[in-house]
Amino acid sequence: MSSLRQKILTLWKEDHLLRRVLQNTGYLFTSSTISMLFIAVQSILVARLLGAESLGLITIVMAFVTNVNQLFSFRMGEFVTRYFGKAMTEENIPHAGAVIKASALIEGFTSVFAFGFLFLVAPLGAKYLVKDIQSLFLFQIFGIAILANLTTETANGVLRVLNRFKTQALITLIQSILTFTMITLAFIFQGDALTILWAYLIGKIFLGVCPILVAIVTLNRELGREWWRSRISILPSIKEMAHFAISTNLSGTIKLLVSESEPLWVGFFLDTKAVGLYKNALAIVNLLMVPITPFIGTTFPEITRSVVAKKWQQLRQLLLRVTVISAIWTIFFALVMAFFGKWIIGLTYGEGFVPAYPVLMILMIGFGISNIFFWNRTLLLSFGKANIPLYVLFGAAILKIILAFYFVPRYGINAEAALLSGNFILSVGILAAVGLWTVRKSERTDSERVTA
C-alpha cells in the first residue's frame, strides 16, 4: 500500500503536465461535484412535482431550443482553443486578438439568426413533438436563452486557453445554486411546468452572460484594451480556419442530431410520457459524465500545446493517464447502478419512473465508452483534422437514424437507448483509434526527419 502511495506521489511530482491538468480539472470538478448534487436533487423535485408527462413536455421544449441554437453554432469554443491557443503559445498577440474578433462576430451573427429561425420552426415542434399547438408559447419564451448566449462559446474558449478555470467553476457553481433555489421554491409552492421552465431559463441566462463579461475583462488584461482593433485580414490561414469552423459545425450538428436531440426523437416516435422516462434515465447517466466533463475542457488546450510543440511522448503519456482515471470512475459508477439503480430510481423519483431502469443500463454502456475515451474528438481537432470526426459521425448518424425508424416505434425507449449506445461505441472507437494512429504517424515522421 505504501509502495502504491509512493508511486502516486512520485508521479504527481514528476509529471508537471498531468499535475496542471488535474489542478485545473480540480477547480471545475469541485464545482461540478457540488453542481451534480444540486442537479440530482432538483431533477428529483421536478420529476415528483410534474410527473412523467409534464416532465417530458418541458424536456422537449428545452431540447428543441437548445438544438436550434446548436444547429447554427460553429462550435467557436473549439475554434478558439485551436487557433487562439496556438497564437498565445507562439506569443503572437495581434493574431490572438484577430482570432477572438472573428470568432465573436461569427458566433454573434449566427446566434441572432438562430433566434429568428426558432420562431419560424417552433410551431412544428409544438405540433409534431409535443403534439399540442398550445405549447408554442413555451418554445418562444425559452428562446430568450439563445440571445443570452450570444458569444458564450467564444468566451468560454478564451477562459480555457488563459487558464481561468477557477472563474469558470465559480460561474457554474453560482448558476447551479441559483437554479436549484428557484426549483426548490417552485416545489414548495407547487408551481407548474411554466414555473420550472422559467427557473431553467434564468439559470441559462446567467450561465451565458457571465463568461462573456469575464472574458472581456480578461482579454483587456492579457492582450491590452486595443485587442479588438486587430484586423481579421492579418490572419495567415483564413481558408484553413474557415474549413475547420465549418467542419466542426457539421460534425457538431451530426452529433446533435444523434445524441443531443434524444428527447426530440423519442417525442417524435412515441409520446411525452416516454420522453419523461427517457429523460429520467439520461439525468442519472449524466451524473456519470459530471466528473469527467471538466477533463475535456482542461485537456484540450494541453493536447493542442503538445501537438504544436511536437512533444509526442508527453502527449501519449497524458492520454494514457487521463484514460485510466476516467475508466476507474466509469466502472465504479456502472457497478453501483447495476446493483442499486432500480432501487435508487424507485426511492428518489417514485415508482412511476422505475420503467426507466432498463434504459439507464443500456445507455450506461455507450456513455461509459464515450466517458473513458473522452478525448477521441479533441485529439484529432488538435491536429486540425476536423474533417475526420465529421465523416465518422455522419456515417454512424445515418445508420442510427435509419434503424430508429424501424426499431423505436416497435420496441420503444429501450430500442432508442440501444441505438444511441451503439452509435457511441462505433464512432468513439473509430475516432480514438484514428487519433492514436495520427500521433504515432506524426512521431515517426518527426523521427525520420531528424535522422535524415
How many Å apart are CA 22 and CA 11, to the nearest integer?
12
How many Å apart are CA 207 and CA 210, to the nearest integer?
6
How many Å apart are CA 427 and CA 410, to the nearest integer?
25
Which residue stretches of 189-237 are H helix?
193-223
* Residue 264 domain-assigned (yes or no): yes
* Number of domain units in the chain: 1
* Residue 381 domain-assigned (yes or no): yes
Residues 229-251: pLDDT tens digits? Answer: 888 888 877 777 887 777 777 77
Please state the rounded mean pLDDT for residues 137-166.
Answer: 92
Confidence at residue 15, expressed as pLDDT on a 0 to 100 scale:
55
Look over the chain and give the mean of its residue pLDDT values, rounded to a whole number: 87
Please state the rounded mean pLDDT for residues 21-26.
Answer: 56
146 closest CA partner among 177, 118, 185:
118
Contact 65, 146 (CB under 8 A): yes
Residues 6+ apart with CB under 8 A from 437: none
Which residue is listed with cell 464545482? 31
User: pLDDT class for 178, splitting at 50, 70, 90?
Assistant: very high
Please state the rounded mean pLDDT for residues 183-206.
Answer: 96
- Set of cell numbers at residue 443: 512521431
Confidence at residue 334, expressed as pLDDT on a 0 to 100 scale:
93
Confidence at residue 18, expressed as pLDDT on a 0 to 100 scale:
56
Sign of CA dihedral 256, 262, 263, 266: positive
Confidence at residue 13, expressed as pLDDT on a 0 to 100 scale:
55
**CA distances to 59, 262, 273, 318 from 56, in Å:** 5, 12, 6, 40
| pLDDT score of 35 more than 60 | yes
* Residue 450 domain-assigned (yes or no): no
Confidence at residue 257, expressed as pLDDT on a 0 to 100 scale:
74
Q: Which of 124-128, 183-187, 256-260 has the lowest mean pLDDT?
A: 256-260
- Set of cell numbers at residue 47: 420529476
DSSP 42-94: HHHHHHHHHHHHHHHHHHHHHHHHHHHHHHT---HHHHIIIIIHHHHHTT-HH
Structure-model confidence comparison of residues 253 and 317, the more confident one: 317
How many Å apart are CA 283 and CA 405, to the nearest integer?
24
| pLDDT score of 139 more than 90 | yes
The four Cα atoms 334, 335, 340, 344 give a dihedral, to 10 degrees, of -30
* Residue 372 domain-assigned (yes or no): yes
Residues 293-307: pLDDT tens digits? Answer: 777 777 777 888 888
Residue 412 carries which DSSP code? T
Domain range for 56: 2-444
Contact 149, 69 (CB under 8 A): yes
Q: Whole-angstrom distance between the N-terminal and C-terminal Cα of the chain?
A: 47
* Residue 293 domain-assigned (yes or no): yes
User: pLDDT class for 438, splitting at 50, 70, 90?
Assistant: very high
Please state the rounded mean pLDDT for residues 107-118.
Answer: 95
276 closest CA partner among 6, 44, 47, 55:
55
User: pLDDT class for 12, splitting at 50, 70, 90?
Assistant: very low
| pLDDT score of 6 more than 80 | no
- Set of cell numbers at residue 119: 420562431
Residues 47-71: pLDDT tens digits? Answer: 999 988 899 999 999 999 998 988 8
Contact 39, 175 (CB under 8 A): no
Q: Is 303 exposed, middle or buried (0-12, 13-18, 19+ CB in 10 A)?
A: buried
Confidence at residue 291, expressed as pLDDT on a 0 to 100 scale:
73
Residues 358-375: pLDDT tens digits? Answer: 999 999 999 999 999 988
User: pLDDT class for 378, splitting at 50, 70, 90?
Assistant: confident
**Percentage with pLDDT > 90 across the chain:** 50
Sign of CA dihedral 146, 149, 150, 153: negative
What letters, b where the CB count within 10 A reaches 16 and e where it falls short, cover 326-339? beebbeebbeebee
Which residue is listed with cell 465508452? 369
Residues 6+ apart with CB under 8 A from 53: 272, 273, 276
User: pLDDT class for 252, splitting at 50, 70, 90?
Assistant: confident
- 56 alpha carbon, distance to own chain's centre: 21
Confidence at residue 59, expressed as pLDDT on a 0 to 100 scale:
92
Please state the rounded mean pLDDT for residues 112-132.
Answer: 94
